[in-house]
Amino acid sequence: MTVQTLHVALNERSYPIYIGGDLSLAEYLLPHIAGHQVMIVSNTVVAPLYLARYRDVLNEAGKTVAECILPDGESYKTLESLNLIFDALMSNRFNRDCTILALGGGVVGDMAGFAAASFQRGVHFVQVPTTLLSQVDSSVGGKTGVNHPLGKNMIGAFKQPKAVLADMMLLGSLPDRELSAGLAEVIKYALIGDEDFLVWLETHMTELVARNPAKLAEAVYRSCAHKARIVAADEHEMGERALLNLGHTFGHAIESYMGYGQWLHGEAVAVGMLMAADLSARLGWIKAHDVVRVRNILRDANLPVNVPDIAPDDFLTLMGQDKKVLEGRLRLVLLKRIGEGVITREFDLQLLMQTLGNKTP
Ligand code: NAD
Ligand code: MG
């Protein structure tokens, strides 16, 4: 498979994302390792599968390699886990010239990135995302951080990596549900900004679900290109970047109602996008058959399409807890048409309540 390179344009913080299968580490990883010390941050699921190959290549290149293997899961995305990374860096006497290499999904990437942003006020960071979600979402944009008991991602920093290696080979071992959760974010990019991409996804969804590496690489490339463009225009999330929250306000309500961990984030976002489409149709912006189209692409990606049984008033309360509530008024991302998202406060509350009451949009 040919390797595609996408440049994320952020002036002096610009960096390449390499997208391919079985990427040559000599060619794509080593040139981005600064200094002699490399800390590989991974977790107990990913490390046994993939870490040795990275360690060996780095050792052969004369680097000093240390490892920090964190417990697996969102519940460990904490300051305590972050401290384990600092412990490893300090006890191995890592200096300011070191590189932190994240090998894992979004949880590992966010924590390793935050460690890289803050250890000695900032060291080099390279990311190898191992889930589809982290390849298309968390590896672009530079957001890093950990959760606080009172809120998700509440403590963090912006930190751009030196390079990202998105290797389709790593996705072979990903559980089916995690693959589909990543596809939800892929579909999101098409819905908010690119109808041609949606047509492509409709044509190739069977191959994507079957993990055809070339098709996955194409989907990752197009998704990252969209996110990179939006992030370059709005690095610190003042405006357009909010479009990336399509389905997320509804989705967060579902996640918190079900209890975090029951539904994967991408699954909740999938249903949330369908609800956003339902409301957009009630507003007369898109047609009923557009909503069917959204439902079908989600179903083909093996994502849920039925809204959990939450009373509309409770649903609204759960949405109100969301951080995207600005100046006391709910801002939603809706669809002006398929392939064009809008950030709007201009919707009728009655229509919103109808959407919240519709369990099979
Ligand atoms: P995750 O990191 O928890 O990975 C999901 C599961 O898959 C985990 O159990 C993990 O160990 C396992 N796994 C990872 N790679 C694997 C592989 N190749 N083979 C087999 N198993 C594998 O979850 P995620 O969906 O990758 O990321 C979610 C996290 O990302 C959340 O914490 C979220 O806040 C964050 N996030 C950050 C950004 C950002 O901009 N920084 C964007 C989106 C999401
Ligand atoms: Mg998301």
Structural domains of the chain, ranges and CATH numbers in brackets = 4-171 (3.40.50.1970), 176-357 (1.20.1090.10)
Give the DSSP letter of residue 94.
Answer: -
Write down the ipTM of this complex: 0.99
- Ligand 1 atom 5, closest CA: 105
Quick one: average pLDDT of 294-318? Answer: 95
CA distance 257 to 36: 47
Pocket of ligand 1 from Cβ distances under 6 Å:
43, 45-46, 72-74, 77, 104-108, 110, 130-131, 133-134, 137-138, 141, 143, 153, 170, 173-174, 178
- Rounded-to-integer distance, Cα 256 and Cα 210, Å: 31
Give me the mean pLDDT over the 280-291 stretch: 98
238-242, Cβ contacts within 8 angstroms, sequence gap of 24 or more: 239/343, 240/343, 241/141, 242/324, 242/331, 242/333, 242/343
SS3 325: strand
Buried b (16+ CB within 10 A) or exposed e, 290-306: bbebbbebbebbbbbbe
Q: Tell me the average pLDDT across 336-352.
A: 92
The letter for the amino acid at 214 is A
State pLDDT tens for residues 227-277.
999 988 877 766 788 999 999 999 999 998 998 778 999 999 999 999 999
Q: Is the confidence at residue 325, as pLDDT, over 60?
A: no
Confidence at 349, pLDDT banded by 50, 70, 90: confident
Q: For a substitution probing ligand 1, which of 81, 131, 159 has the most ligand atoms within 8 Å of its CB?
A: 131
Closest listed residue to residue 46, CA positions, set 122, 121, 102: 102
DSSP 8-state secondary structure symbol assigned to residue 263: B
Contact between 43 and 75 (Cβ < 8 Å):
no
18 is in an annotated binding site: no
Q: What positions carry a catalytic annotation?
A: 121, 143, 185, 227, 237, 241, 245, 248, 252, 265
**Probe target for ligand 1 pocket from 103, 130, 158, with the most ligand atoms within 8 Å of CB:** 130
Average pLDDT over the chain reads 94
Amino acid at 320: G
Three-class SS state of 22:
coil
Burial label for 11, CB within 10 Å (0-12, 13-18, 19+), is: exposed
What atom in ligand 1 is closest to the CA of residue 145? Answer: 41
pLDDT at 236: 73
Distance (Å, whole) CA 71 – CA 303 = 27
Per-residue pLDDT reduced to its tens digit, 153-202: 999 999 999 999 999 999 999 999 999 999 999 999 999 999 999 999 99
* For ligand 1, atom 30: residue with the closest CA: 106
pLDDT of the residue at 323: 44
Secondary structure element (H or E) that encloses residue 157, with its range: strand 151-158
C-alpha 358/C-alpha 361 separation (Å) is 6
Average pLDDT over residues 329-340: 93
CA-proximal residue: ligand 1, atom 44 (nearest): 138
